[in-house]
Structures are given as structure tokens and as C-alpha cells.
Amino acid sequence: MISLQMMLLDVDPTSYKTVFIGYPMWWYTIPMVMETFFDTYDFSGVTIVPFNTHAGSRDGGTYETIKEREPNAIVLDGLAVSGGNEGSEDTKTEIIDWVNGLKLNE
Ligand SMILES: Cc1cc2nc3c(=O)[nH]c(=O)nc-3n(C[C@H](O)[C@H](O)[C@H](O)COP(=O)(O)O)c2cc1C
């Protein structure tokens, strides 16, 4: 998981143009470790692409939460995937369509 790698390695997020940040929905919001993650790192000027798994809450407003935690980042529309369906063909298609729709190469 990117976030854990960044916590273990001394990485400067601002050296990246775009980062994908994924997490499971916990108690209707981002897991507490993600709060620590956003407290620890400054994503100013970085494009954050959020995605999450869930068991019914979808994104639960967490993309807005990330915008609040990282007000100087550009937070794109995320993708909420139902937990347990991550490997299904439908989800693969959904992910491909979502990534292509982000138009990151333009
Ligand atoms: C402590 C805890 C709290 C959770 N709270 C929510 C929640 O509020 N809304 C929701 O849709 N799913 C909730 N879930 C379900 C997880 O989001 C779901 O199991 C996870 O996204 C599936 O990903 P995984 O296979 O990586 O665990 C919760 C799960 C745990 C363990």
C-alpha cells in the first residue's frame, strides 16, 4: 500500500505529480491511520487520485475529507469499489474506465 511505503520510506510526496491513494471505508470515514498519513505529509501541488473499498457507504464523503486535509492538493474524483468485488470482471472494467476518464496524460 502506497501510504505504508511512504511512512516507512523517507519520501517527499511533493516530488510526485500524481499519487493514487487507496483505503477501506471505516466507520463512515477514512481510517485513523489515514488521518495520521495526511497529518504527516504535505501534498501541496500534488494531484491526489483517491479510491476506496467499502461495504455500502461508497466513498462516504471521504474525497471531500481528503480535500479538507490537503487543501493545497488537487483531489480528483475517486472510485469506490465494493469490498469483495475487487477482482471481478465488472470491477476491472469499472477501474479501467475510471482511470481512462481521469485523462492523466493530457
Ligand atoms: C472497523 C471497520 C469499520 C468499517 N466501517 C465501514 C463503514 O462505515 N462503511 C462501509 O461501507 N464499510 C465499512 N467497513 C467495511 C470495509 O470498508 C470493507 O470491509 C473493506 O472496504 C473491504 O476491503 P478489504 O477487503 O481490503 O478489507 C468497515 C470495516 C471495518 C473492519
What ranges do the domains of the chain cover?
Answer: 2-102
Measured in Å, residue 19 CA sits from the centre of ligand 1 at: 22
Measured in Å, residue 84 CA sits from the centre of ligand 1 at: 10
* Dist CA 34 CA 19 (whole Å): 14
* Dist CA 12 CA 3 (whole Å): 12
- What is the fold, at CATH topology level, of the domain defined by 2-102? Rossmann fold (3.40.50)
**What is the position in ligand 1's atom list of the atom closest to the CA of 28?**
8
Residue 1 has pLDDT above 80, yes or no: no
* Best CA proximity match to 66, nearest among 81, 53, 47, 83: 47
Pocket test for ligand 1, best of 1, 23, 25 (most atoms within 8 A of CB): 25
* Best CA proximity match to 81, nearest among 103, 99, 105: 99
- How big is the CA angle at 1 (ends 57 and 80), to the nearest 5 degrees? 25
pLDDT digits (tens, 9 = 90+) for 20-77: 999 999 999 999 999 999 998 999 999 999 999 999 999 999 999 999 999 999 999 9
pTM of structure = 0.90
